[in-house]
Amino acid sequence: MADKEKTAKAAKDTSSFGESHSYFTKNVLPNNIQAMKRKISMPSSYVHNEDQTFLLVTSGTGTMTVNGVDYPLRPNILVNLSPFHVYRFTPEKGHALEITEARMNSGTYLYLIANPYYKLKNFSVPSEPPMIQLRGLAKDIAYQAMDGLLMEYDRDSWDKHSLCFCYMTDLFGLITGSRPMARKQTKK
């Protein structure tokens, strides 16, 4: 292969992540990631969840009923719903719940689980939705991830799917309690 062709191929196979795994360089990332903000001022209808969903309560208080079980909601709670749960929101009387929501289809979720940066000794799908109260750095990461997802969802850029995938990875890292380790820089 001529040097010119090698250079062109190398440029095509790179991404904003440098010399990273082919998740990013070969454009094989799933692209079905969605993000939106919701303001809920009255009890919602029941929804049959078909996606892997992250919900971040940004303001208000209320209840989330999942499969008939009530869970209290307040600001800075991150919820992870896997597919096949039935849920609804009931805001506290006279108040609205504001929620930022990010969704990915089940295939994208499985793709994320297969991500080589996660090493889970025991993987299981919980019957109850994982919920965490965010504080400090975890809170900052969740809000930045959701803001990034909202921004990227509306953009039409060449790196949109890579960035959304990374934001979803951040949320998944928070909910599982283990964040991917930062790659150490080596001196040459």
DSSP 82-109: -TT-EEEEEEPTT--EEEEEEEE-HHHH
Predicted structure pTM score? 0.72
Q: What's the domain count of the chain?
A: 1
Pairwise CA distance, residues 26 & 4, whole Å: 20
Q: How far apart are CA 23 and CA 111, in angstroms?
A: 10
CATH code, domain carrying 162: 2.60.120.280
* Structural domain includes residue 20: no
Residue 4 lies in a domain: no
* Cα dihedral across residues 66, 70, 74, 79: positive or negative: negative
Q: Per-residue pLDDT tens for 66-88? A: 999 999 999 999 998 888 889 99
In a domain, 83, yes or no: yes
Is 119 among the domain residues?
yes
pLDDT value at residue 73: 95
Q: What are the tens digits of pLDDT across the range 19-57?
A: 445 544 455 555 678 899 999 999 999 999 888 899 999
In a domain, 108, yes or no: yes
Question: Judging by DSSP bridges, how do beta strands 47-48 and 131-133 pair with one another?
Answer: unpaired
Range with the largest mean pLDDT of 2-6, 18-22, 24-28, 106-110: 106-110
16 domain residue, yes or no: no
93 is in which domain, residue-wise? 27-176
Q: Does residue 186 form part of some domain?
A: no
Q: Is residue 182 part of a domain?
A: no
For residue 113, pLDDT over 70 is answered with no
